[in-house]
Structure 1
């Protein structure tokens, strides 16, 4: 008989999650962005998690959800303010298993439930297609400096469903 894969679950961010979420952040950047960013850009970007205390404070200051498989964190997403997806990272070992979609669905539902009409995200080049498939539309191209490295991303926006209908 075939084995049923465990289903991911969601829970709020806990302070004890800092080290594992920092590791997921770093692994996702190092293993999933090589086609779009140079090694120096990846290192500069990943350095944002080097100070676990500051990284944890950033997660705690936002509405951060953690995706788990069998109670182990495998991804996370954070909503900054009411209407901006600040971070969405999934461990490379579970890419393609619906973890990122589950996290994004949850943030979209939470935002819509709070009366938000649209969400924005500054999508990295490797995440742009993920958000495009979810109905996000590119609004502007950006260049940002992260730890001394220039990185490109795209601000994307999605109009959220209201009253059960897609606007």
Structure 2
């Protein structure tokens, strides 16, 4: 059974909890799909609370999933270009529909903004969430972080016309 959650916009005081969710997600879930050196490379680019606060004050749609006590358990963002940059869920709540709920919220935001396309560069772990939401996998992408090869997937969703509101 999925826990009761709510989703709201980012607030300035959220950044520390969101940075922790990012790190915990990579540390605990990353090894399910990536080698130890890849997880270490991914962690090397983890945003700090200050980084997240700076990023999330730039006008993008940032959503925070909250547990029944109001504590952040997931987050993500949708830029005005249609790019979903981050999508992270606390490992203690992984597999309970929180990522799916956040993506659905971004698709509503995209419709309201009359965006034609929403896209993301999804990890191996996030790819199934995007596929279930109707995204298409355009390409597997290989890149390097600190000389360590790692992959993700370019995912794309065509926002249906006439579905704003």
Displacement after TM superposition at 1:35 (Å) = 2.6
Question: Aligned equivalents of 2:139 and 2:147: distance in 1?
Answer: 22
Alignment partner of 1:82 is 2:61: no
Displacement after TM superposition at 1:50 (Å) = 5.4
Question: Aligned equivalents of 2:152 and 2:44: distance in 1?
Answer: 17
Question: Aligned equivalents of 1:37 and 1:140: distance in 2?
Answer: 18
Instruction: State the partner residue of 2:62.
Output: 64
Displacement after TM superposition at 1:113 (Å) = 1.1
Find the residue that maps to 1:71 and give its secondary structure.
Answer: coil
Instruction: State the partner residue of 1:20.
Output: 17
Find the residue that maps to 2:109 and give its secondary structure.
Answer: helix
Displacement after TM superposition at 1:148 (Å) = 4.3
Kept in 1, the 8 Å contact 2:2–2:96? The answer is no
Find the residue that maps to 2:45 and give its secondary structure.
Answer: helix
With over 3 angstroms needed to count, the CA separation of the structure-2 counterparts of 1:147 and 1:20, relative to structure 1, is farther
Kept in 1, the 8 Å contact 2:143–2:149? The answer is yes
Instruction: State the partner residue of 2:141.
Output: 142
Instruction: State the partner residue of 1:52.
Output: 49
Can you give the 5+ residue segments of structure 2 that lack an aligned partner in the other structure?
none
Question: Aligned equivalents of 2:53 and 2:100: distance in 1?
Answer: 23
Instruction: State the TM-score, normalizing by the size of structure 2.
Output: 0.87
Can you give the 5+ residue segments of structure 1 that lack an aligned partner in the other structure?
none
- The count of residues paired between Structure 1 and Structure 2 equals 162
Instruction: State the partner residue of 1:41.
Output: 38
Displacement after TM superposition at 1:76 (Å) = 0.2
With over 3 angstroms needed to count, the CA separation of the structure-2 counterparts of 1:100 and 1:18, relative to structure 1, is same
Question: Aligned equivalents of 1:8 and 1:31: distance in 2?
Answer: 22
Find the residue that maps to 2:114 and give its secondary structure.
Answer: coil
Displacement after TM superposition at 1:149 (Å) = 3.0
Instruction: State the TM-score, normalizing by the size of structure 1.
Output: 0.86
